[in-house]
Amino acid sequence: MRIGCPTEIKPQEYRVGLTPAAAAEAIAHGHEVVVQAGAGVGAGFDDTDYVAAGAAILDTAAEIFATADMIVKVKEPQAIERAMLREGQVLFTYLHLAPDPDQTRDLLASGVTAIAYETVTAPDGTLPLLAPMSEVAGRLAPQVGAWTLQKANGGRGVLMGGVPGVGAAEVVVIGGGVVGTHAARVAAGMGAKVTVLDRSLTRLRYLDEVHGRTFANRYASSAATAELVASADMVIGAVLVPGAAAPKLVSRAQLGSMKPGAAIVDVAIDQGGCFETSRATTHQDPIYDVDGIMHYCVANMPGAVARTSTIALGNATLPYMLDIADKGWRAAIAADPHLRAGLNVHAGKLTYRAVGEALGLPVTEAELLAA
For position 334, which CATH number holds?
A: 3.40.50.720
| CB-count exposure of residue 15 (10 Å: 0-12, 13-18, 19+) | buried
258, 232 contact by CB (below 8 A): yes
pLDDT tens digit string along 202-249? 999 999 999 999 999 999 999 999 999 999 999 999 998 777 788 999
Residue type, 44: G
**Same domain for 161 and 240?**
yes
Record the pTM. Answer: 0.87
Query: Phi/psi of residue 191, each to 5°?
Result: 100, 0
The residue out of 277, 299, 321 marking a domain boundary is 299
| Domain region containing 314 | 2-120+306-370
**Same domain for 171 and 255?**
yes
Selecting among 96, 182, 295, 346, the annotated active-site residue is 96
Q: What pLDDT shows up at residue 271?
A: 86
Overall number of domains in the chain: 2
**Same domain for 51 and 182?**
no
**Same domain for 62 and 139?**
no
Instruction: Tell which residue, 251, 243, 187, 244, has the closest CA to residue 214.
Output: 187
**Same domain for 282 and 168?**
yes
**Same domain for 137 and 281?**
yes
pLDDT-based confidence at residue 148 (cuts at 50, 70, 90): very high
Selecting among 100, 233, 266, 270, the annotated active-site residue is 270
71, 85 contact by CB (below 8 A): yes
pLDDT tens digit string along 98-124? 999 999 999 999 999 999 999 999 999
The answer to the question of residue 126 being in a domain is no
Catalytic-residue membership of 270? yes
The answer to the question of residue 125 being in a domain is no
Catalytic-residue membership of 96? yes
pLDDT tops 90 at residue 368: no
Angle, vertex CA 312, rays to CA 308 and CA 315, nearest 5: 145
The answer to the question of residue 148 being in a domain is yes
pLDDT tops 70 at residue 74: yes
Rounded Cα distance, 338 and 334, in Å: 10
**Same domain for 143 and 43?**
no
pLDDT tops 90 at residue 319: yes
The residue out of 257, 273, 299 marking a domain boundary is 299
With b meaning 16 or more CB within 10 Å and e meaning fewer, what string describes 303-324? bbbbbbbbbbbbebbbebbbbb
**Same domain for 220 and 347?**
no
The residue out of 257, 277, 299 marking a domain boundary is 299
The answer to the question of residue 268 being in a domain is yes
Q: What percent of the chain has pLDDT over 70?
A: 99
**Same domain for 153 and 43?**
no
The answer to the question of residue 240 being in a domain is yes
